[in-house]
A = this chain, B = another copy of it.
Amino acid sequence: MLIDHTILGLLHCQSLTGYDLKKIIQGSVFLPWSGNNNQIYKALLSLEKQGYVINEVIHQDGAPSKKKYTITESGQDELKRVTMQEPESFDIKKPFLVQLARAEILSDDELKALINRYEESIKTQLLMAQNQTDKSFFAQGRNIRESTIWNTIQKNIVSSYQCELNWIGELKEALF
């Protein structure tokens, strides 16, 4: 999974600067990148070298110049190609499970406290995911299908956290 393809997908919707892309990626829950400069500006350079995007420098007074990137036709072809690719399964990366697997060295009370702290952190994440529903780049769905897709992506994130909370309940019941 390359950030390049994601950038291509964002540029398909509208022309954007590196700075715009950074904000979009940082503000998204399901795009699994931090949105740091190094990655984005290098990806744009590489996309340009491959002919998938072009840029237009826009001079501003009272603000630094910016480069507005636009997808090319060959970029559209590449986007189509990667979007049709065999979908990958997801990565499970839950440090808490790893931590729990070593819990043999903890007392019942220490373990209970640890689980409760985890529960709190997941509840916080769930609330954040639920409140982020709007105000995003993706919220401006172009048509009914796009809006449906976007809403359902949001639901995926929310249900992941809810699923984890359910599981924490089961864990507590099984242990205590």
Contacts and interface: CB of A to CB of B under 8 A. Distances in A.
A97 to B, nearest CB: 5
A45 B73 CA distance: 51
Contacts of A170: 152, 155
B86 A12 contact: no
Contacts of A164: 90, 156
Interface string A149-163: 111110111011001
Contact of A96 (B29, B87, B125, B159): B87
B175 A101 contact: no
Contacts of A31: 98, 101
A84 B101 contact: no
B92 A157 contact: yes
Nearest to A162: B163
Interface in A85-115: 85-106, 108, 110, 114
Given A148-B174, A152-B171, A163-B159, A99 B79 contact: no
Contact of A84 (B114, B142, B150, B151): B114
A158 to B, nearest CB: 10
A8, A102, A167 — most chain B CB neighbours (10 Å): A102
Interface of A: 1, 5-6, 8-9, 12-13, 29-32, 76, 79-80, 83-106, 108, 110, 114, 117-118, 121-122, 124-125, 138, 142, 145-146, 148-153, 155-157, 159-160, 163-164, 166-167, 170-171, 174-175
25 contacts: A5-B98, A12-B102, A12-B104, A29-B92, A31-B101, A32-B93, A32-B98, A80-B105, A83-B105, A87-B118, A87-B121, A88-B95, A89-B96, A89-B122, A90-B96, A90-B164, A93-B93, A94-B156, A97-B156, A100-B149, A104-B145, A145-B175, A148-B175, A152-B175, A155-B170
